[in-house]
Amino acid sequence: MLNQRIQSNVREAAAKALPKRTAQATGSRNGSRNGGGNGARNGKTARYSALSLLSHGLTKKDWPVAWHKHDLAKGYDVVIIGGGIHGLATAYYLAKNHGIRNVAVLDKGYLGGGGSGRNTAILRSNYLTPEGIRFYDRSVKLYEGLAADLNFNVMFSQRGHLTLAHNDASLRTMRWRAEVNKIQGVDSDVIDPPAIKKLVPYMDVSEAARYPILGALYHPPGGIIRHDAVVWGYARAADAYGVHLHQQTEVTAIDVSDGQVTGVQTNRGPISTPVVVNCTAGWSTLITDMAGVQTPIQTFPLQAAVTEPVRPFLDTVVVSGTLHVYVSQTDRGELVFGASVDPFTSYSMRGSLEFVEGLAGHVLELMPPLHKMRLLRQWAGLCDMTPDYSPIMGPTPVKGFYVDVGWGTYGFKAGPVSGESMAECIATQRTPEIISAFGLQRFTDGELVGEKGAAAVGH
Amino acid sequence: MIQLPCPWCGPRNVSEFRYAGEGGSRPDPATTTAQQWRRYLYMHRNPLGWTKENWYHGSGCRKYFSLERHTETHEIRTPEPQVEETSTSENAGESSVAQEAVEAR
């Protein structure tokens, strides 16, 4: 029943949007206008351009709103829980690639207020498993074209990514990763300390260091991006296709009858829907519990901090697994520091003093000249850790209930490809090949995708 | 830094302990199926609120013990059947207040 409804919706929407082309075509912005309701603008947004910037600057006119407020409709074809990058990207690709536009994205807070706004904005694809590498490589490719696709400057800076090795075991993993990466066509190689010094002149690569640097995995396509811009870009583009974005809308229950999702209850009222997608992070088990689905996820906070802005001096992203720290410099000049997850499960997003102490010690270990820098602020985000450090994506035993969860410390990197593949999964009712290894079933089948060696610091 | 009330050593910084999770009953390896074993290994509750969990005092007495912790506020209380406590009276006082506050919510 669900399948028929979705499929018929796909055909209907495709017929409306693209009278002479197939639903899979991407050029739906040129489609015909259909009156009122969802999809009214067919993906058209008021274009941002140098000319519009100039004219708005001269006339001081207000910019058009990026996305609209809507009343909660009685029902949607797809309800996505979680208004972060995963939820918004899923909504966007459902509308754009599959013509499914009667979609709602619900968030209990504000768009991008969870993991999407709390990560350290690092992108890379130099993972360890073939399944992981091809997945994140697709994500980096989508990020490369994202600014043009969304007509929103996401400030993607592919400045290179260094993962340091301080001991033989790490160096061995780096070589392993480099070889697997090369086979998959991902630019990645192990470099020696003099080469590292060239890339990061302020780094202490001497043998006198407490944890001498033996080498590093260098991944030139890696870099940083402005994470808020990615969220806003997807929200604006999804809104233009008629997707309803509901902020301050908390899901309190999921209605399931005969093993099939029928709707959700929210603090603003009930919604009937045959498809619910859990795109939350941190609180994902609370949502899966509502649907009666069990996932092997534990929530751990991960803390990060940012310094005052200084002149640009750090061109690459620097990661040290041994020292549990990663550093990058934003376009504004601030240094962003991240760490490994806290040592016990928690839903608390308060920072702690011992984190700052440990972090400062480790950063100075790497770059002693930073000792006069001042921290501006610190924060924590919630990470849904899975046993194998790979995500859980796709259908669940409850029909119509999909998950895109378990994003640990690597969810932001995967935003676009997750949205693209989840949208395909929902629209076609088949799990796309690129996420086939990440199903929930793998834990009971014993088919884990062990990504710990490349997905986290502090192992 | 939060402090945990070790029943043998008294309140100590959490950095002295290793988190051992909620635990659960271990299936008999001789008779269990692979699926059951994997469920035991991987599937755990992840509650928002009070949870009973085990900790290992690695930098102290090197013993395991259980306590109850609120996973959002980090309030601690000791579970009902517990070893006689002497040194944790201060924590116990705090936790009973915390408990009331949570129940009032």
Interface TM-score (ipTM) > 0.85: no
CB contact under 8 A, A443 and B43: yes
Q: Is B46 on the interface with A (CB under 8 A)?
A: yes
CB contact under 8 A, B72 and A286: no
Number of CB pairs, chain A paired with chain B, less than 8 A apart? 47
- The yes-or-no verdict on residue A66 having pLDDT over 80 is yes
Q: What is the pLDDT of residues A271-330, one digit of tens each?
A: 999 999 999 999 999 999 999 999 999 999 999 999 999 999 999 999 998 999 999 999
Q: Which of residues 151-210 of A touch B (CB under 8 A)?
A: none
Is residue B6 domain-resident? no
A317-320/A161-165 β-pairing? parallel
Chain B: nearest CA to A353, how far in angstroms? 7
Q: Which of residues 1-20 of A touch B (CB under 8 A)?
A: none
Residues sharing a CB contact under 8 Å with residue A169, sequence separation 6 or more, in sequence order: none
Chain B: nearest CA to A22, how far in angstroms? 43
Domain residue extents for chain A: 157-221+298-384
pLDDT band at A456 (very low <50, low <70, confident <90, very high): low
What integer is the mean pLDDT of A24-42? 42
Task: Give which of A101, A112, A97 is closest to A70, Cα–Cα.
Answer: A101
Of the candidates B21, B34, B42, which has its C-beta nearest A296's C-beta? B42
Q: Is A352 on the interface with B (CB under 8 A)?
A: yes
- The yes-or-no verdict on residue A458 having pLDDT over 80 is no
CB A238 within 8 A of CB A245: yes
Between residues A321 and A336, the one the model is more confident about: A336
pLDDT band at A450 (very low <50, low <70, confident <90, very high): confident
- What is the domain count for chain B? 1
Q: Is B42 on the interface with A (CB under 8 A)?
A: yes
Least confident of A135-144, A427-436, B78-87: B78-87
Query: How far apart, in whole angstroms, are the C-alpha atoms of residue A214 and residue A236?
Result: 46
Is residue B9 domain-resident? no
Average pLDDT, chain A: 90
Q: What is the CATH number of the domain that holds B62?
A: 3.30.2270
**Other beta carbons within 10 Å of A455:** 23
Range A157-221+298-384 has CATH code 3.30.9.10? yes
Q: Is B62 on the interface with A (CB under 8 A)?
A: no
Chain A: nearest CA to B75, how far in angstroms? 11
Query: How far apart, in whole angstroms, are the C-alpha atoms of residue A76 and residue A79?
Result: 6
Residue A363, token pair as written in the block: 């950063």
pLDDT of res. B91: 45
Q: What is the pLDDT of residues A403-441, one digit of tens each?
A: 999 999 999 999 999 999 999 999 999 999 999 999 999
**Other beta carbons within 10 Å of A428:** 14
Q: Is B52 on the interface with A (CB under 8 A)?
A: no
List of E strands, A29-159: 78-81, 103-106, 122-123
Is residue B56 domain-resident? yes
B18-19/B50-56 β-pairing? antiparallel
Chain A: nearest CA to B87, how far in angstroms? 24
Interface test with A, best of B13, B42, B45, B70 (most A CBs within 10 A): B42
Residue B100 sits in which domain range?
17-24+42-105
Between residues A170 and B87, the one the model is more confident about: A170
Q: Is B43 on the interface with A (CB under 8 A)?
A: yes
Task: Give which of A175, A153, A261, A229 is closest to A453, Cα–Cα.
Answer: A175
Query: How far apart, in whole angstroms, are the C-alpha atoms of residue A434 and residue A449?
Result: 13
Q: How many C-alpha atoms does A180 have within 13 Å on its Cβ side? A: 21
Q: CA of A28: how far to CAs of A15, A44, A93, A95, in Å? A: 11, 9, 12, 9
Q: What is the pLDDT of residues A196-213, one digit of tens each?
A: 999 999 999 999 999 999
